Structure 1
Amino acid sequence: MRLDQALQQRGLVASRSAASRLIQAGAVSVDGKPATKASVEVFEQSSIELSPSPETEFVSRAGAKLAGVFRARPELNAQGYWVDFGQSTGGFTDCLLRQGAERVLGFDVGHKQLSTKLREDSRVCCVEACNLRTPWPVTRRIDPIEQSDMQTLRIIDRDEQLDMQMQLADLSSFDDQWPKAGAHGVVIDVSFIALSYVMPQAIQCIRPGGCCIALIKPQFELGADPVLRKRWFKDGLVHESTKLQAMLEDLVAPFKNMGLDFDVNRDVLASVLPGTSGNQEYFLLARRNRPIQAPPTTSSNTQRPMKNIPQPRSDP
């Protein structure tokens, strides 16, 4: 059997692609010897070990990205109740729990992706098959998934379109322990859609003064315009840093009209790890400090250029 297949079969990684990343990072050894290729043949009696690395510290490498934010901003407090938008395997959730979160309610469009470790954690509630673009309330009823634990829920699609209500979302129908005041914070990690599609719903989960930590993935924010993608991308990577900074400014500016407070020059941090395709990613750190307003059709506000994007420290 191939090494990458064996890693997945033994439950050491969530996917073969994750196994390949570990092997490339030099974090895998077979029978005491470092493995360099995913195609290496291993046997049932072979011993496979993972060495400590950003790829193995959390249930997914996303946890190492978020941990970099907490190292760079030690004043951030992860205690309390949090919402994880785009929970997937649970890297952000894993990091939040280690940082002291009391409970995490996660939403994801997929299903059965959350790691077994987190699925069995009483502090974690996972809502699956959820279209995060859908304004709250997202459903009228919830059904438990087959014979899995009651912490995991699947949202039943709505049969009618509901207008977005710009107020604090009541998530107690998903989690009976949810506080009426709202979440202390929300983390966002979504792919293949822009943040603007999910940010209004995410903000509605946060209590006034609560924290929003959103991962910005440039390749999904630049849109599908073939001219722009040809100009800004090369081999799938963003390659014009000046345009990238302008894009980041334009991207985060509208979020202020949704009730978030941040300084574009101070509160955009480079991720300590790149995306899986090699793109540099960024975190927006913000707080909800006023009621949500409908976003304007045009923006007259101009943000100052980000001369230096702060780089999180990579050491603990």
Structure 2
Amino acid sequence: MTRLDLYLSQNSLSQTREKAKREIIAGWVTVNGETVTDPSRPVTGSEQISVRRPGGLYVSRGGQKLKHALNAFGISLAGRVAADLGASTGGFTDCMLKEGAKKVYAVDVGYGQLDFSLRKDPRVAVMEKTNVRYLKRDNFSDPVDFVAADLSFISILKIFDAIRKVFSPAEGVMLVKPQFEAEAGEHEKGVVRNKEAHAVILTRVLSVLAEKGLIVKGLVHSPVRGPKGNIEFLVHFAMDGGSCRSAGMTEGLERTVWRIVEQAHAAFDTAAGPDDGSSSET
């Protein structure tokens, strides 16, 4: 017999014993189909023990966000080499693997956040303690042709030069978080609330990216809100003519932005609070 939290960590069901304790207390662990919230619960190992983390199919809700974008933009990842910039827990990485990517570089400035199931996956190249702004092509042994980016506490504008330099002519999807792109007066204590602010921020960001050589192919709002209820947006982009399907930008940038912002606010009108309480959930 052994404690449940110890069993999870020893059998690679949880990254550490401390994390196992938190997951058990949170109600994410079942033993023989029943939820167990006591980390000291004795188990023999013959039971059916599983960990069901928030986000359902993926290790974090970031996977839901990227899956939504891939569907909306008609992007196939089968057999492709991808990079997850701002990997964190690995929601984007998990999604890309499940969508058929043959290899994913999981890049993050932090350490020890990537879910253990991904860390031990031979298709994942873990690049921790790595600042996206200082990436070089020779950091990648295989050419990357798809880039997914979800950065927190930094403007996407500050890392795009590095993305273009290292990955062009790849295509990709980036998560735009208005709360990190907002200027003074466009947010209230880290929350962007009104349509006008969202439209202004998105138009400004996408215009600057276009000036830097990005081809904006599509825009949708994320189905999952960020911290404090912030509405986030997903951009489908290509660089230097990289091939990808058009996804509705033919009507013009400003009109497209307004249409997507209207859809986002309509979708979340009845929502009372944030759907994703973490600071970085990829």
Q: Which TM-score applies when normalising by structure 1?
A: 0.64
In structure 2, the residue matched to 1:253 is: 207
Distance in 2 separating the partners of 1:113 and 1:126 = 11
Distance in 2 separating the partners of 1:12 and 1:119 = 11
Q: Which residue, out of 151, 161, 164, partners 1:200?
A: 161
Distance in 2 separating the partners of 1:116 and 1:32 = 23
How many residues are treated as equivalent by the alignment?
240
In structure 2, the residue matched to 1:60 is: 60
Change (3 A) 1:64 1:54: farther
In structure 2, the residue matched to 1:222 is: 182
Deviation at 1:31, TM superposition (A): 8.3
Secondary structure of 2:206's match?
helix
Deviation at 1:184, TM superposition (A): 1.2
Change (3 A) 1:276 1:54: same
Matched-pair contact (CA < 8 Å) for 2:193–2:230: no
Distance in 2 separating the partners of 1:106 and 1:115 = 11
Change (3 A) 1:13 1:118: closer
Q: Which residue, out of 262, 278, 295, partners 2:216?
A: 262
Deviation at 1:33, TM superposition (A): 6.3
Deviation at 1:114, TM superposition (A): 1.8
Deviation at 1:307, TM superposition (A): 2.7
Distance in 2 separating the partners of 1:13 and 1:242 = 43
| 1:128 counterpart = 2:121 | no
Change (3 A) 1:42 1:97: closer
TM superposition outliers: structure 1 runs of 4+ over 4 Å: 5-16, 26-35, 46-51
Change (3 A) 1:218 1:41: same
Distance in 1 separating the partners of 2:127 and 2:212 = 24
Distance in 1 separating the partners of 2:178 and 2:211 = 21
In structure 2, the residue matched to 1:69 is: 69
Q: Which TM-score applies when normalising by structure 2?
A: 0.71
Deviation at 1:49, TM superposition (A): 5.6
Deviation at 1:274, TM superposition (A): 1.0
| Aligned residues: CA RMSD | 3.5
| 1:243 counterpart = 2:181 | no
Distance in 2 separating the partners of 1:307 and 1:212 = 22
Unaligned residue ranges in structure 2 (runs of 5+)? 243-251, 268-282
Secondary structure of 1:283's match?
strand
Greater helix fraction, Structure 1 or Structure 2: 2
Q: Which has the higher contact order (CA 8 A, sep 6+)?
A: 2
Change (3 A) 1:9 1:222: farther
Change (3 A) 1:49 1:133: same
Matched-pair contact (CA < 8 Å) for 1:191–1:220: yes
Deviation at 1:123, TM superposition (A): 1.4
In structure 2, the residue matched to 1:184 is: 145
- Counterpart AA for 1:262: V
What are the within-5 Å matches in structure 2 for residues 1-316 of structure 1? 11-12=13-14, 43-45=40-42, 55-73=55-73, 75-79=74-78, 80-134=80-134, 136-137=135-136, 170-171=137-138, 174-176=139-141, 178-179=142-143, 183-208=144-169, 210-223=170-183, 225=184, 228=185, 232-233=187-188, 236-263=190-217, 267-290=218-241, 303-305=253-255, 306-309=257-260
Change (3 A) 1:133 1:175: closer
- Counterpart AA for 1:128: E
